[in-house]
């Protein structure tokens, strides 16, 4: 099972998006787990869960470079959720972009 984890300031705004993404994955019988967490838990969650993909909320996209640097020696795809897709809570589009990131890794 692939793990796609979303991180934002508090983890609350991404929770709805993660739920929408999980519904899309379930509807298509995809072996994917989608969860949302607050950004200050990223190291703890990465160490414990080893996600396949880390997606940052658009409000914390300025942390992308630091996040990539922190996990550069790990086998994890890292990206930022598109602001428009995030605003529309478009679980399908965000899930597709996560799958694409994982395949590119």
DSSP bridge partners of 78 = 54
Q: Compute the CA torsion angle 16, 21, 27, 33 (nearest 10 deg).
A: -110
Question: What 3-state DSSP class applies to 26?
Answer: helix
Indicate which residues carry an active-site annotation: 8
- C-alpha span between 86 and 71 (Å, rounded): 24
Residue positions counted in the chain: 105
Structure tokens at 32: 């994917």
């Amino acid at each position: 099972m692939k793990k796609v984890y979303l991180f934002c300031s508090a983890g609350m705004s991404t929770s709805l998006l993660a739920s929408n993404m999980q519904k899309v994955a379930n509807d298509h019988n995809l072996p994917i787990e989608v969860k949302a967490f607050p950004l200050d838990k990223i190291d703890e969650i990465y160490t414990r869960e080893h996600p396949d993909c880390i997606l940052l909320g658009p409000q914390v996209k300025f942390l992308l470079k630091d996040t990539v640097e922190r996990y550069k020696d790990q086998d994890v795809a890292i990206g930022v959720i598109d602001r428009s897709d995030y605003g529309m809570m478009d679980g399908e589009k965000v899930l597709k972009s996560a799958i694409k990131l994982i395949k590119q890794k």
